[in-house]
Amino acid sequence: MVATSPLCYNPSSRCLAPSLLRQRFCHRSSFADAFSASRSTFFSGFVLRRPLSRGNRLWLQNNMDELIKNYAIRDKNSDEGVQVLEQETLIDGPSRLGKFALRELEPILNRLSKWMVSAFFGALILWRHDAESLWFAAGSILNAVFSVVLKRILNQERPSTLKSDPGMPSTHGQSIFFFVAFAILSSIEWLGLSGSSVTISGLAVVLGSYFSYLRVSQQLHTASQVVVGAIIGSIDSVLWYWLWNAFVLDAFASSLWVRVAVLLGSAAICFGFVIYVIRHWLKDD
């Protein structure tokens, strides 16, 4: 009994043995006494009881002390392992947590990308409430419709079966880079070729590239489908921008019929898109 007392002592009042072992051995005097009082052996269906000899009691005592010592060493090693694990978590935890959070966030950002582009043009209409904002919002919608038509013509499969329609070109990539090209051209027109316009353009390209990349990481498109969509969307945006400044703007200012046609046509396209969003996007999400 004297040999076991240091093992059960700790300044934090915590026995070194595990809780189950502590319950059985740290306060085992009654157990040892009860067991040493008699030993049961089975012979021909009868239970015979006889007292343990002094040598047997010493043998039992030594084995119990050795068992407690082994559990104490194991518990100590377990504590060291926990400390090492905690240190690794403190070192690698932030990076692992950040990667996990980003991986969990990517599907959400992917679903939000179409809403972000639509919200941008909706906010542009509300902010400027003029014919030019309606014109470019309508152009963004027509660009997306053109992408759907190209998909039906090219009829190239997606990299996965998450969606059943064709994947070439990526409608998301085409719509996102229509917005990117519009942001670049608009910032240069409003701010000139300055540090601010370069910053806005660079930020638009980075964000557009990232949201387009999500279509690949989520296995909804191949990289080539996204790249083709981005190229077509950029070209559409540049042509639509050039068409407004080269022809429509002068005709809009000089002719009432052109004003009516541009306003009513753009408004009808935007209204039809809102109906489509209500019937399909809200239902899908």
Residue-wise pLDDT tens for the chain (285 aa)? 444 444 443 444 444 444 444 444 344 444 444 444 444 433 333 343 445 555 555 655 666 566 555 545 444 444 444 444 445 444 555 555 555 566 778 888 888 888 888 888 888 888 888 888 999 999 999 999 999 999 999 999 999 888 888 999 999 999 999 999 999 999 999 899 899 999 999 999 999 999 999 999 888 999 999 999 999 999 999 999 999 999 999 999 999 999 999 999 999 999 999 898 888 877 665
User: For position 62, what pLDDT does the model report?
Assistant: 63
Assigned domain for 43 exists: yes
User: For position 227, what pLDDT does the model report?
Assistant: 96
Q: Please state the domain count of the chain.
A: 2
User: For position 42, what pLDDT does the model report?
Assistant: 37
Assigned domain for 203 exists: yes
* Contacting residues for 127 by C-beta, under 8 A, at least 6 apart: 133
Beta pairing partners, 48: 41
Assigned domain for 116 exists: no
User: For position 25, what pLDDT does the model report?
Assistant: 39
User: For position 22, what pLDDT does the model report?
Assistant: 42
Give residue 220's domain range.
Answer: 130-284
User: For position 211, what pLDDT does the model report?
Assistant: 92
How much is the pTM?
0.64
Assigned domain for 208 exists: yes
User: For position 120, what pLDDT does the model report?
Assistant: 87
User: For position 94, what pLDDT does the model report?
Assistant: 55
User: For position 59, what pLDDT does the model report?
Assistant: 58
212 in Cβ contact with 225 (< 8 Å): no
Q: Do both 155 and 91 map to the same domain?
A: no
Assigned domain for 233 exists: yes
Q: Do both 269 and 156 map to the same domain?
A: yes
Q: Do both 173 and 41 map to the same domain?
A: no
In terms of Cα–Cα distance, which of 30, 54, 56, 51 is closest to 41? 51
171 in Cβ contact with 142 (< 8 Å): no
Q: Do both 214 and 152 map to the same domain?
A: yes
